[in-house]
Structure 1
Amino acid sequence: MNKSTILTITRKDLKATFSSKKIWVPMIIVAVLLCIIFPSVLAYFGLNFDMTGKSAEDIERPINAFIKEFPNDEMRNTLASLPTLTYKFVYFFLTFMMIPFFLLVAIINSMVTAANSFAGEKERNTLETLLFAPISIVDLFLGKVLASLIPALGITYASYVINLIIVNLITYPFFDHMLFLNSTWLLLMFWVIPTLVLFTIILSVLISAKVKSFQEAQQFGGILVLPVIGIVISQASGLFFLSPLTLFLIGTGLLVANALVLKLVTKFNQRNTLFESQIH
């Protein structure tokens, strides 16, 4: 493994990513809309205006029944102590329903950058030169994985910090404590998301090495969004909640999956195999 070669490939791919507005602009827009603007607007209007109207009593009955069956004692007591239905909804949404949003942004951004790796080289007519340069295929893959990892994690963490500041400025006077800093969120951001992003990138880079175009690579990678949709449905319906233990187990499973998927990289140790996958 040649660190200098890996860093050179990383810098080259980062330059290609940020020189193309069709790649980095949508990444930032999606993160800002889902992880910053949407929760901030929801928190502000939900806590400063009563949006339940005359039907509040009809809505509150099933909500209170839902709270009584909530599996986490601390969260159940916190929700029950909040004075209005709107407060309960805002607190629950920001604490639990925002988790899939960050997972979705992490997957989408890592998928976009990784899909641009080999497929992007093919479209720019630079792949042949890169494949027959005096570098190993393993170094080539590692450089491209690192080049996808940096912007994906950077945008996700920047969104988290900005969301943390803005939303807590809005909600702290009402809830009297900081959101997004409990064990669930810390495990999500610093254990699950890094392993999830790495898994998405490795898989997407492998897919990108097999397909012919950037759009085709994105279509294959779109399958990875489906589990997050399942999490959204389960969180909203109460089927299960992403507790700290669940998140720890998910992160551990992803870590094992990363090790297994990395073994697939060895199949591309033959330059001719990788080259033929791009021309046939």
Structure 2
Amino acid sequence: MNKQTILAIAQKDMKATFSSKKVWVPMIIVAILLCIIVPSGMAYFGIHFDLVGTSAKDMDKPIIALINDFPNEEMRNTLIGLPTIGYKFVYFFLTFMMIPFFLMVAIINSMVTSSNSFVGEKERNTLETLLFAPISIKDLFLGKVLASLIPTLGISFIAFIISAIIVNIIAYPYFKVILFLNSTWMILMFWVIPILVLFNIILNVLISAKVKTFQEAQQFGGILVLPIVGIIISQASGMFFLSPLSLFLIGTGLLIGNLFLIKLVTKFSNRNTLFQSQIY
């Protein structure tokens, strides 16, 4: 493994990614919209206008029933102790419903950067030169993975920090607790998301190495968005909640999946095979 070669490939790919506004601008917009504007808007309007309590009283009963059946006793008591339905809804949304949004951003951004790894080289007419350069296929794959991992995690963590600051400025005077700084969110940001991003990147780099167009790569990679949609629905309906334990187990499962994908990478040790999968 040649670290200088890996870093050189990663720097080249990141430069190509951020030189195209069509790639990095949507990544930034998605992160700002889902991870900053949505929670900040929900915190401000939910607290100041009590939207759920005043304009949608028909929702009171299902929300109260959801709270009464909540599996975590500490969180259930916290929600019951809040003064209005609006406060309860905002606190629940910011604590649980925002988790799938951060997962969604991580998946979308990692998919965009990694799907472009090999097919992007083909579209820029640099693939042949890269494949037959004096570098190992292992270093090539690691460089491609690193080029997607760094910007994706960077955007995710920056969005999390900004969101936590804004949301707590709005919500702390009312809830008297710092949101986003609990075990659930720490496990999410420092265990699940890094492993999920790595899993998605390796998977999409492998897909990108097999398909011939950027659109094909994105179509295959977009399949991972579906489980996140399922999590959103299950959380909203009360069927399933992402507790610290469940998040830890999800991360462990993804880690095992990463080990499996890394084994698949070894099958691309023959550069002629990889060349033929892209050219023919």
Task: Please state which band the TM-score falls in when normalised by the shorter chain.
Answer: over 0.9
- Is 1:36 equivalent to 2:36 in the alignment? yes
Matches within 5 A, 1:169-188: 169-188=169-188
The whole-number CA distance in structure 2 between the counterparts of 1:25 and 1:46 is 29
1:265 matched to 2:265? The reply is yes
1: CA distance between counterparts of 2:53 and 2:37? 24
1:240: how far off? 1.1
Q: Distance in 1 between matches of 2:179 and 2:110?
A: 26
Q: Deviations over 1:83-134 (max 9, x none)?
A: 0010011000000000000000000000000011001001000000000000
> 1:110 matched to which residue of 2?
110
Q: Contact 1:9/1:144 (CA < 8 Å) preserved in 2?
A: yes
Secondary structure of the residue aligned to 2:51 is coil
**How far apart are the structure 1 equivalents of 2:131 and 2:85?**
60
Deviation of the 1:65 alpha carbon: 1.6
Q: Number of residue pairs matched?
A: 280
RMSD of equivalent CA atoms: 1.0
Q: What letter corresponds to residue 148 of structure 2 in structure 1?
A: S
Alignment of 1:121 with 2:101, yes or no, is: no
User: How far 1:61 sits from its partner (Å)?
Assistant: 2.1
Q: Secondary structure at the match of 2:181?
A: coil
Residue 14, structure 1, aligned to residue 14, structure 2? yes
1:63 deviates by 1.6
Distance 1:57 1:114, change over 3 A: closer
1:219-230 alignment, distance < 5 Å = 219-230=219-230
Residue 174 of structure 1 aligns with an amino acid whose one-letter code is Y
Superposition deviation, residue 69 in structure 1: 0.5
TM-score by length of 1: 0.98
Map of 2:134 onto structure 1: 134
CA distance in 2, matches of 1:54, 1:101: 26
Corresponding residue SS for 1:135: coil
- Partner deviation per Cα, 1:48-104 (whole Å, 9 max, x = no partner): 113246665543222212111100001100100000010011000000000000000
CA contact (8 A) 1:56 1:85 kept: no
Question: Residues 124-203 of structure 1: matches in 2 within 5 Å?
Answer: 124-203=124-203
The alpha carbon displacement at 1:142 in A equals 0.2
Counterpart in the other structure of 2:48 = 48
For 1:242-253, list aligned pairs within 5 A. Answer: 242-253=242-253
Contact 2:11 2:147 in 1 (8 A): yes
Alignment gaps of 5+ in structure 2? none
Report the secondary structure of 1:241's partner residue.
Answer: coil
**Shift >6 Å, 4+ stretches:** none
Between the aligned partners of 1:66 and 1:145, the Cα distance in structure 2 is: 41
Corresponding letter in the other structure for 1:110: S
For the 8 Å contact 2:202–2:262, the answer to whether it is kept is yes
What displacement does 1:153 show?
0.3
Aligned match of 2:64: 64
Identity of paired residues, percent? 75
Q: CA offsets per residue over residues 197-242 of structure 1, 9 Å max, x none?
A: 0000000000001111112111110001011011001101111111
Instruction: Identify if the C-alpha distance between structure 1 residues 34 and 134 changes in structure 2 by more than 3 Å, giving closer, same or farther.
Output: same
Q: Distance in 2 between matches of 1:84 and 1:10?
A: 51
Deviations 1:242-269 (CA, angstroms, capped at 9, x unpaired): 1101011111111111011011111110
Alpha-carbon distance in 1 for matches of 2:44, 2:14 = 37
Query: Counterpart in 1 of 2:26?
Result: 26
CA–CA distance in 2 between the matches of 1:45 and 1:93? 13
Q: Which residue of 1 aligns with 2:213?
A: 213
Output the TM-score relative to the length of structure 2. Answer: 0.98
Instruction: Kindly indicate whether the alpha-carbon contact (under 8 Å) linking 1:5 and 1:135 is maintained by their aligned counterparts in 2.
Output: yes
Q: Which runs of 5+ in 1 are unaligned?
A: none
Cα pair 2:168 2:179 within 8 Å, conserved? yes
